[in-house]
Amino acid sequence: MNASLGAGDALLSLRHEDVAYSGKIALKNLTLTIAEGEKVALIGPSGAGKTTLLRRLYQLDPNNCAFVHQHHVLVPQLSTFHNIYMGRLDHYSSWQNLINLLKPTRSAMQEILPIVQKLGLEEKMYTRIGELSGGQQQRVGIGRALYQGGSIIMADEPVSSLDALQSLEIMQLLVEAGRTVVAALHSIDLSQRFFHRIVGLKHGSIAFDLPVRSLTEDRLSRLYG
Amino acid sequence: MLRTSLYFLAIACAAFFLADISVTTLDPWQEFARMGRGLLTPDFFNLPDFGQALFNTVSFALVGLTIAVVLGALLSLFFESTPVRLFCSFIRAIHELFWAFIFMPIVGLNSVCGILAIAIPYSGIFAKVYAEIRQESDQRPAEALPPASTRFSRFCYGTLPLIFGHLKDYTSYRFECALRSSAILGFIGLPTLGYHLETAFREGLYSEAAALLYSFYLLIISIRIWARAKFIVIPLLISCLFISWETSFSLVGLSRFFLYDILPWPMRAEGFYVGTGELVLVPLELGKWFWDIVVSQALPGIWNTMLLTQIALVATALFTLATFAFASRRFFSARVTGCTYLLFVVLRTTPEYILAYIFLQLWGPSMLPAIAALFLHNGAILAYLTANNVNALESTFDAAQGRFNRYLYEVLPRCYGHFLAFLFYRWEVIMRESAILGILGITTLGFYIDSAISRDHLDTALLLICITAGINMSIDSFSQVIRKRLHISGHVASRIIGPGESGS
pLDDT tens-digit readout, B314-329: 999 999 999 999 998 8
Under an 8 A CB cutoff, do B141 and A73 touch? yes
Count of residues making up chain B: 504
Amino acid letter at A47?
G
Looking at chain B, which residue has its C-alpha nearest residue A130? B162
Quick one: pLDDT at residue A8? 62
Looking at chain B, which residue has its C-alpha nearest residue A90? B149
Strand pairing class (A39-43; A197-202) = parallel
Whether the predicted pLDDT of B430 surpasses 90? yes
A-chain CB neighbours of B138 within 8 Å are: 72
State in Å, rounded, how far the first CA of chain A is from the last one: 20
Q: How far is CA B111 from the centre of its chain?
A: 20
Angle between helix B367-392 and B412-436 (nearest 10): 150
Enclosing H/E stretch for B414: helix B412-436
| Contacts with A220 (C-beta within 8 Å, 6 or more apart), sequence order | A188, A200
What is the layout of strands, in order, in the sheet containing A152-156? A65-68, A152-156, A180-184, A39-43, A197-202, A205-211
Q: Which domains does chain B have, with CATH numbers?
A: 1-41+282-498 (1.10.3720.10), 45-245 (1.10.3720.10), 250-279 (no CATH)
Confidence of residue A222 (pLDDT cuts 50, 70, 90): confident
Closest by Cα among B390, B442, B380, B394 to B412: B390
A88-104 pLDDT, tens digit each: 888 888 888 888 988 89
Amino acid letter at A124?
K
Which of B145, B147, B162 is the closest to A86 by Cβ? B145
B272-317 pLDDT, tens digit each: 888 777 888 888 889 999 999 999 999 999 999 999 999 999 999 9
In chain B, the percentage of residues whose pLDDT exceeds 90 is 57
Within 10 A of B48 (CB to CB), how many other CB atoms are there? 10
Strand pairing class (A39-43; A10-21) = unpaired
Quick one: pLDDT at residue B494? 36
Which of A74, A75, A97 is the closest to B153 by Cβ? A97
Quick one: pLDDT at residue A5? 45
Which of B137, B157, B159, B167 to probe the A interface (max A CBs under 10 A)? B157
In the stretch 138-177 of chain B, residues with CB closer than 8 A to chain A read 138, 140-141, 143-150, 152-154, 156-158, 161-162, 164-165
Minimum distance, in Å, between the CA of residue B155 and any CA atom of chain A: 10
The rounded distance, in Å, linking the Cα atoms of B307 and B364 is 19
Whether the predicted pLDDT of B489 surpasses 90? no
Enclosing H/E stretch for A181: strand A180-184
Minimum distance, in Å, between the CA of residue B159 and any CA atom of chain A: 8
Mean pLDDT score of chain B: 88
Which of A77, A90, A98 is the closest to B164 by Cβ? A77
Under an 8 A CB cutoff, do B146 and A87 touch? yes
Within 10 A of B489 (CB to CB), how many other CB atoms are there? 13
B-chain CB neighbours of A89 within 8 Å are: 145-146, 149-150, 153-154, 157
The DSSP-derived string for B207-220 is HHHHHHHHHHHHHH
Beta carbons of B12 and B317 less than 8 angstroms apart: no
B-chain CB neighbours of A73 within 8 Å are: 140-141, 143-144
Strand pairing class (A205-211; A65-68) = unpaired
B87-117 pLDDT, tens digit each: 999 999 999 999 999 999 899 999 999 999 9
Which of B138, B144, B157 is the closest to A97 by Cβ? B157
Under an 8 A CB cutoff, do B165 and A75 touch? no
Which of B145, B150, B161 is the closest to A77 by Cβ? B161
Taking the domain A1-62+184-225, which CATH number applies?
3.40.50.300
Any chain A CB within 8 A of the CB of B275?
Answer: no
Which of A75, A97, A148 is the closest to B141 by Cβ? A75
The rounded distance, in Å, linking the Cα atoms of B129 and B76 is 8
Closest by Cα among A154, A177, A138 to A64: A154
Q: Which residues of A touch B (CB under 8 A)?
A: 62, 67, 69, 72-78, 82, 86-94, 97-98, 101, 148
Looking at chain B, which residue has its C-alpha nearest residue A75? B141
Minimum distance, in Å, between the CA of residue B137 and any CA atom of chain A: 12
Q: What angle do CA B483, B489, B491 make, to 5 degrees?
A: 140
Under an 8 A CB cutoff, do A93 and B150 touch? yes
Beta carbons of B344 and B328 less than 8 angstroms apart: no
CA distances from B1 to B420, B485, B500 (A): 8, 9, 23
Under an 8 A CB cutoff, do A62 and B158 touch? no
The rounded distance, in Å, linking the Cα atoms of B119 and B96 is 9
Beta carbons of B254 and B106 less than 8 angstroms apart: yes
Minimum distance, in Å, between the CA of residue A67 and any CA atom of chain B: 8
B-chain CB neighbours of A64 within 8 Å are: none
The rounded distance, in Å, linking the Cα atoms of B138 and A73 is 9
Quick one: pLDDT at residue B323? 94
Looking at chain A, which residue has its C-alpha nearest residue B158? A75
Under an 8 A CB cutoff, do B144 and A69 touch? yes
Q: What angle do CA B449, B453, B457 make, to 5 degrees?
A: 100
Average pLDDT score over residue span B197-225: 91
| Range B159-168, long-range pairs (CB < 8 A, 24+ positions) | B159/B134, B161/A75, B161/A77, B161/A78, B162/A75, B162/A76, B162/A77, B162/B137, B162/B138, B163/B133, B163/B134, B163/B137, B164/A77, B165/A77, B166/B133, B166/B137, B166/B495, B167/B130, B167/B133, B168/B229
What count of Cα atoms within 13 Å lies in the side-chain half-sphere of residue B256? 9
The DSSP-derived string for B84-106 is HHHHHHHHHHS-HHHHHHHHHHH
R_g of chain A, CA atoms, integer Å: 18
Quick one: pLDDT at residue A69? 77
> What's the burial of B280, exposed, middle or buried (CB within 10 Å: 0-12/13-18/19+)?
exposed
Query: How big is the A-B interface in CB pairs under 8 Å?
Result: 62
Most confident of the following: A26-40, A95-109, B51-65, B353-367:
B51-65
Under an 8 A CB cutoff, do B152 and A148 touch? no
Q: How far is CA B182 from the centre of its chain?
A: 11
Under an 8 A CB cutoff, do B164 and A74 touch? no
Find the Cα–Cα–Cα–Cα dihedral B36, B38, B44, B48, rounded to 10°. -130
- CATH class for domain A65-149? alpha beta
B-chain CB neighbours of A74 within 8 Å are: 141
**Where along chain A do the CATH 3.40.50.300 domains lie?**
1-62+184-225, 65-149
Average pLDDT score over residue span B49-62: 93
3-class DSSP assignment, residue B400:
coil
Which of B140, B149, B156 is the closest to A90 by Cβ? B149
B135-168 pLDDT, tens digit each: 888 888 888 888 888 888 999 999 999 999 899 9
Under an 8 A CB cutoff, do B150 and A74 touch? no
Looking at chain A, which residue has its C-alpha nearest residue B141? A73
Closest by Cα among B224, B213, B157 to B183: B213
Looking at chain A, which residue has its C-alpha nearest residue B156? A98
R_g of chain B, CA atoms, integer Å: 24
A139-190 pLDDT, tens digit each: 898 888 889 888 899 998 888 777 888 888 888 888 888 889 999 998 888 9
